[in-house]
Amino acid sequence: MNKTILLTAAFLLALAVILGAFGAHGLKEKLGNEMMQIYKTGVEYHFYHALGLLLVGVLAGQMPSSLMNWSAICLTVGIVIFSGSLYTLAITGVRWLGAITPLGGLSFIAGWVLLFIAVWKK
């Protein structure tokens, strides 16, 4: 599973760079200040948690457990929901998407708590 986690992390990190560059160069002139800030927040959290996922993949190789796997799943789901909803909100202006963003935040928290428990149990 740690190979899958590492591959997912590498993919999500590459995607964060692509989406960050797209925002900086492709959306700068199209989005207002508020929407650009929302987009940037999505990119920021995408990067942080993809790097965290990379760490989980490395740790999963050293101390494999189902908790590590669930931590990775939660971080990945968090990126999709949290950052994905912010990207979509910024680009489309559809405000109700902001209502699902906290679900991604909860997924991030769950991922970090599961990592804590996994390491603590070893």
Please state the separation of Cα 17 from the chain's center in Å.
13
Band of the pLDDT at 122, cuts 50, 70, 90? Answer: confident
- Please count the CA atoms within 13 angstroms of the CA of 107 that sit on its side-chain side: 22
Centre a 10 Å sphere on the Cβ of residue 12 and count the other Cβ atoms it contains: 21
Q: At residue 1, does pLDDT exceed 80?
A: no
- pTM for the whole thing? 0.94
What are 97's two structure tokens?
């998407």
HEC letters along the chain: CHHHHHHHHHHHHHHHHHHHHHHHHHHCCCCCHHHHHHHHHHHHHHHHHHHHHHHHHHHHHHCCCHHHHHHHHHHHHHHHHHHHHHHHHHHHCCHHHHHCHHHHHHHHHHHHHHHHHHHHHC
pLDDT tens digits, one per residue of 63-110: 999 999 999 999 999 999 999 999 999 999 998 988 999 999 999 999
pLDDT score, position 98: 85
12/72 Cα distance (integer angstroms): 12
